[in-house]
Copies of this chain bind each other. A is one copy, B any other.
């Protein structure tokens, strides 16, 4: 038997209401109370009613920590995103949050100021015994292995692992980049310029690689490549650097994302007096909302990020349920949003 119960004494902090208190109030055992809060348990309607009434009266809520201790499931899903991704794709987080809630789980959010902080973050992840994780940041193979070792299901978001087969949702960045280059080349562009994303962005790497690859295949002149960091300013700055290095306006500028494309476009039209797309084509990636605004109507590539986010949670759910489902990565295609900032070749009718 319990020694003392709710001490409403004036002394210190009030004790928390526990299942014992409810049991006492309802005149049943503590384990009966526990069962009443477990969905498919065997309790008589009478007991159920008594307990629920007592629980409501006492404002009782089960303690997740205690439950997690014994069940070994925390109902927590870790979401790890680099700050960049977080800022540029708020919809992803929003979708993840909704879908995770739909599974009856909670979202434990970790953001990385620098991609190198991930070590510390993982330590916290282990402490909280999360049921699974969705990661949109670069993990070393060793770190990926640690997920496996600790039996924490993992789904990568737009990242892949070279060595291991890790469940992932990813969009064909390189393929999309190749498509864009092809269409621009067919339309007669020859001198390309690339305003690249930041060096620590895996997505940016793949996009650039795809472009360079396809340009080479087509036997076109080597493009001017300048660095950028995904923000508005670096789009305009990048364009100036390109023109400086090339000594003239290039035929086409492909930017690592839409924000830079918008920056590039604004600088071209409003500061340098370049006619887009007549004199120069501009394209971006992501089809973010602003890219469709009347003032821009950017030529860009759309990833089905909402779908990807939703599927990532679904995939994680399967992994959490059947402990051993050998889920591979699922791939998505980008679709070209033709916009009005680039001269594109007509496509042959299907």
Q: Residues of A with Cβ closer than 8 Å to B?
A: 13-14, 16, 59, 61-66, 68-69, 72, 74, 76, 79, 83, 86-87, 90-91, 93-94, 97-98, 101, 106-111, 113, 123-124, 126-129, 149-151, 232, 262-263, 266-267, 270-271, 289-290, 293-296, 323
B294 and A296 form a contact (CB under 8 A): no
**Docked pose: A65 CA to B320 CA in angstroms:** 19
Question: Which of A107, A128, A266, A290 counts the most B-chain CB atoms under 10 A from its CB?
Answer: A128
Tell me if A108 and B108 are in contact (CB < 8 A).
Answer: yes
Give the CA-CA distance A129 to B150 in the complex, in Å.
Answer: 25
Give the chain B neighbours of A79 by CB distance below 8 A. 109
Please name all residues of chain B whose beta carbon is closer than 8 Å to the beta carbon of A66 when the two chains form the complex: 65, 69
A-B contact pairs, 18 of them (CB 8 A): A13-B151, A13-B323, A61-B123, A63-B127, A63-B129, A64-B127, A65-B68, A90-B90, A93-B109, A94-B111, A97-B110, A98-B111, A106-B108, A106-B128, A108-B108, A232-B293, A263-B293, A267-B294
The 9 closest A-B pairs by CB, nearest first: A266-B294, A65-B68, A97-B111, A90-B90, A64-B127, A61-B126, A65-B65, A295-B295, A107-B109
Complex CA gap A196/B270 in Å reads: 31
Q: How far is the CB of A290 from chain B (nearest CB, A)?
A: 6
Q: How many angstroms from the CA of A198 to the CA of B323 in the assembled complex?
A: 44
From B262, B271, B323, give the contact of A293 (CB < 8 A).
B262
Q: How far is the CB of A118 from chain B (nearest CB, A)?
A: 12
Residues of B contacting A151 in the complex (Cβ-Cβ under 8 angstroms)? 13-14
Contact partners of A97 in chain B: CB under 8 A: 86, 109-111
Q: A65-B128, A106-B109, A106-B128 are in contact. List 15 more A-B contacts (CB 8 A).
A: A59-B150, A64-B127, A65-B68, A83-B94, A86-B90, A86-B97, A97-B111, A98-B113, A101-B111, A106-B108, A106-B110, A107-B108, A108-B109, A109-B109, A266-B294
CA distance A16 to B129 in the complex (A): 10
Which chain B positions have C-beta within 8 A of A289? 232
Task: Tell me, in angstroms, the Cα distance from A161 to B147 when the chains sit together.
Answer: 44
Q: Are A65 and B69 in contact (CB under 8 A)?
A: yes
- How many angstroms from the CA of A97 to the CA of B16 in the assembled complex? 28
Q: A271 and B295: CB pair below 8 A?
A: no
Assuming the A-B contacts A232-B289, A232-B293, are A91 and B98 also in contact, with contact meaning beta carbons closer than 8 angstroms in the complex? no
> A128 near B90 (CB under 8 angstroms)?
no
Nearest B-chain residue to A296, judged by Cβ = B295
Determine if B109 and A124 form an interchain contact, defined as CB atoms under 8 angstroms apart: no
Contacts of A126 in B (CB 8 A): 61
- Complex Cα distance, B297 from A271, in Å, reads 14
Tell me the complex Cα distance, A127–B105, Å: 12
| A126 CB → nearest B CB, Å | 4
List chain B residues, Cβ under 8 A from A149. 59
